[in-house]
Amino acid sequence: MTIYSKFHQDGADSNDTHLTLTYDVKYWLSELCNQRLTPCADFASIILESVLQMNDIENEGITNNLASGEMDSLEDASSQANAWCQQLGLGPGSRIVDVRALPLKSAGGYHREESSLVLGDILPRNSKSYDKNRAPKFFGQPTIVYFHVTVLSIDTINEESMTYVADIFLAQSWRDHRLRLPEDMTEEYRILDVGWLQDIWRPDCFFKNAKKVTFHEMSVPNHYLWLYHDKTLIYMAKLTLVLSCAMKFENYPHDTQVCSMQIESLSHTTHDLVFKWNFTDPLVTNPDIELPQLDIAKNTTEDCTLEYSTGNFTCLAVVFNLRRRLGYHLFHTYIPSGLIVVMSWISFWIKPEAIPARATLGVTSLLTLSTQSTQSQRSLPPVSYVKAIDVWMSSCTVFVFMSLMEFAVVNSFMGPVATKPMKGYSEEDLTIHRPSGYNGTSSSLRLRGKASSPARGPPPPPPGPQYVTFCNGREVALFIDQWSRLFFPLAFIILNVVYWTTFLH
């Protein structure tokens, strides 16, 4: 029902008529006047000492037609608005004044207490004309819902299940021109019962990549509904979301994970409903968020509207760029594994004859490195591609294995160890049983001063030096050790330069 009053300003011309309207008509006329389709285009706010209000039942049909969108075009609405203005005696110089700026004078002064509301106070008088399943489209245009997200915390990032948990405030705002304002609404907004959302239209948004959504109800339900004078509804709720994130570990632990939170319409296509981010502050992130192994490098808001076989469904996304901190893996993976590689090089300074010491050092280093490689990837899913940590640990394993191979080569050049002379006998007292040549005879072992069987044939010539081959092999083994002392550290330094240059970028 249209509520208006006519009056004449003191000292003004009698033709200078003013009109005070409720927002039902004021909103629609302002939309038309913005299109310059009505002569009522001169808006101004004036201070009034008193307002005489009355109900105009005659004009209720015009208001309902405007609000319900039954008019075919702006021209039709403009013609009815012009006729309505002329009926009230308003000329081109008339002013339309918003009743929100004016105090309502009562017997006790310019103040009126707001009474408690019921659902019928905001629904149209003809409740059958209101369809809660139909979006409040304005002149055939899709309903626009504005979103705002405040990220309170991000935690429990699980690489194995590829999920993360976020606590947020989600705010939605939309305008439903079919609703009525309470007659005694004098404040900027009015808090409505959240349960009324079951009886009025609301956006059918859902979190597309959410595995679990929890409403907070301690100590009261953490959501509320506001109604403003321009019939804008704001619904805000605090939620805890368990969201999936398609993580990629090719550069792990130098990776940056891109995780999103997608909000999509369930049943309305873009022909009826469009989601948009709030223009002023679409996303606010708590600066005190602290993650144990990740840093929030960058946050953005995007439009993720997709085309399905059933149509285009509007979608918005909050994108979190989570960059992994290197400190944990530096002290628990890289430095220990590097020290194990360096420890395996100690065998190059051990004498080639110390076979047990060199073998134990190499095998122990290899087993320790293998255990550390398994522990460094315990929290990751078993992916089929090669990760950066795999490149590092495999390279360290190769270096330790090559040090073992170097020991095997050195040991092969050493040959058999020389036998010491027997106690109580000189080398001249020892003769070696060896073939005597081409005559097929052989010499026998003879100990000087003791009885022996008579020798057949001439005595063999004195044996030559028995340590020539051994000495030459030892020199080669020592040369290999000396060469390894330079080659292995230099190759490991080159590996580090290539590795860190590649994966840090």
- 32-60, pLDDT tens digit by residue? 444 443 344 333 332 333 332 333 333 44
In a domain, 1, yes or no: no
Under the banding of pLDDT at 50, 70 and 90, the label for residue 412 is confident
CA distance 370 to 153: 37
Q: Are residues 173 and 262 in the same domain?
A: yes
Under the banding of pLDDT at 50, 70 and 90, the label for residue 414 is confident
CA distance 384 to 398: 21
pLDDT tens digits for range 138-177: 888 999 999 999 999 998 899 999 999 999 999 999 999 9
In a domain, 226, yes or no: yes
Could you give the residue ranges of the DSSP H alpha helices within 346-447?
A: 355-376, 388-414
Q: Are residues 387 and 259 in the same domain?
A: no
In a domain, 6, yes or no: no
Q: What is the four-CA torsion angle of 3, 4, 5, 9, rounded to 10 degrees?
A: 150
Q: Are residues 182 and 319 in the same domain?
A: yes
* Per-residue pLDDT, 185: 81
**Residue with the two structure tokens 């075919």:** 72
In a domain, 454, yes or no: no
In a domain, 405, yes or no: yes
* Per-residue pLDDT, 473: 79
CA distance 306 to 262: 12
Please state the domain count of the chain. Answer: 2
Q: Are residues 333 and 306 in the same domain?
A: no
Give the tokens for residue 329: 């893996």
Q: What is the 3-state secondary structure (H, E, C) of 221-269?
A: CCEEEEEECCCEEEEEEEEEEEEECCCCCCCCCCCEEEEEEEEEECCCC
- The residue from 303, 324, 345 where one domain ends is 324
Please check whether residue 447 is in contact with residue 429, taking contact to mean a CB–CB distance below 8 angstroms.
yes
Q: How many helices (H) and strands (E) does the chain have?
A: 8, 18
Residue 65 scores a pLDDT above 90: no
In a domain, 88, yes or no: no
Instruction: Kindly state the helix (H) or strand (E) to which residue 344 belongs, with its residue range.
Output: helix 335-344
pLDDT tens digits for range 70-127: 445 445 555 665 665 555 454 444 434 433 333 444 444 444 455 688 888 899 988 7
* Per-residue pLDDT, 62: 44
Give the tokens for residue 85: 């203005």
In a domain, 380, yes or no: yes
Question: From residue 302, how far is each of 208, 274, 317, 319, 320 by CA, in Å?
Answer: 14, 14, 5, 7, 11
* Per-residue pLDDT, 125: 84
Query: Mean pLDDT, the chain, as a whole number?
Result: 76
Percent residues over pLDDT 90 in the chain: 49
Q: Are residues 145 and 286 in the same domain?
A: yes
Q: What letter does residue 35 receive in the DSSP assignment?
A: T
Give the tokens for residue 201: 């239209």
Q: Are residues 347 and 226 in the same domain?
A: no
Please check whether residue 133 is in contact with residue 189, taking contact to mean a CB–CB distance below 8 angstroms.
no
* Per-residue pLDDT, 470: 52
Instruction: Kindly state the helix (H) or strand (E) to which residue 434 belongs, with its residue range.
Output: none
* Per-residue pLDDT, 34: 45
- The residue from 277, 303, 324 where one domain ends is 324
In a domain, 265, yes or no: yes
pLDDT tens digits for range 277-327: 999 999 999 999 999 889 998 999 999 999 899 999 999 999 999 999 999
Q: Are residues 275 and 381 in the same domain?
A: no
Q: Are residues 333 and 308 in the same domain?
A: no
Range 3-12 average pLDDT:
37
Q: What is the side-by-side order of every strand in the sheet holding 54-56?
A: 54-56, 2-8, 17-21, 95-98
Q: Are residues 280 and 375 in the same domain?
A: no
Q: Are residues 288 and 333 in the same domain?
A: no
In single-letter form, the type of residue at position 259 comes to: C
Looking up residue 297, the CATH number of its domain turns out to be: 2.70.170.10
Please check whether residue 233 is in contact with residue 227, taking contact to mean a CB–CB distance below 8 angstroms.
yes
Residue 182 scores a pLDDT above 90: no
Under the banding of pLDDT at 50, 70 and 90, the label for residue 236 is very high
> Is this model's pTM higher than 0.85 or not?
no
* Per-residue pLDDT, 403: 94
Under the banding of pLDDT at 50, 70 and 90, the label for residue 463 is low
Give the tokens for residue 139: 């002149």
Percent residues over pLDDT 70 in the chain: 66
Looking up residue 334, the CATH number of its domain turns out to be: 1.20.58.390
CA distance 496 to 505: 14
Which one has a higher pLDDT value, 344 or 420? 344
Please check whether residue 321 is in contact with residue 268, taking contact to mean a CB–CB distance below 8 angstroms.
no
Q: Are residues 249 and 364 in the same domain?
A: no
Structural domain boundaries, residue 138:
129-324
Q: What letter does residue 144 receive in the DSSP assignment?
A: E
* Per-residue pLDDT, 405: 93
- The residue from 324, 345, 360 where one domain ends is 324
φ, ψ for residue 326 (rounded to 5)?
-90, -15
In single-letter form, the type of residue at position 70 comes to: E
Which one has a higher pLDDT value, 220 or 436? 220
* Per-residue pLDDT, 312: 93
Which one has a higher pLDDT value, 231 or 78? 231
Q: Are residues 274 and 353 in the same domain?
A: no
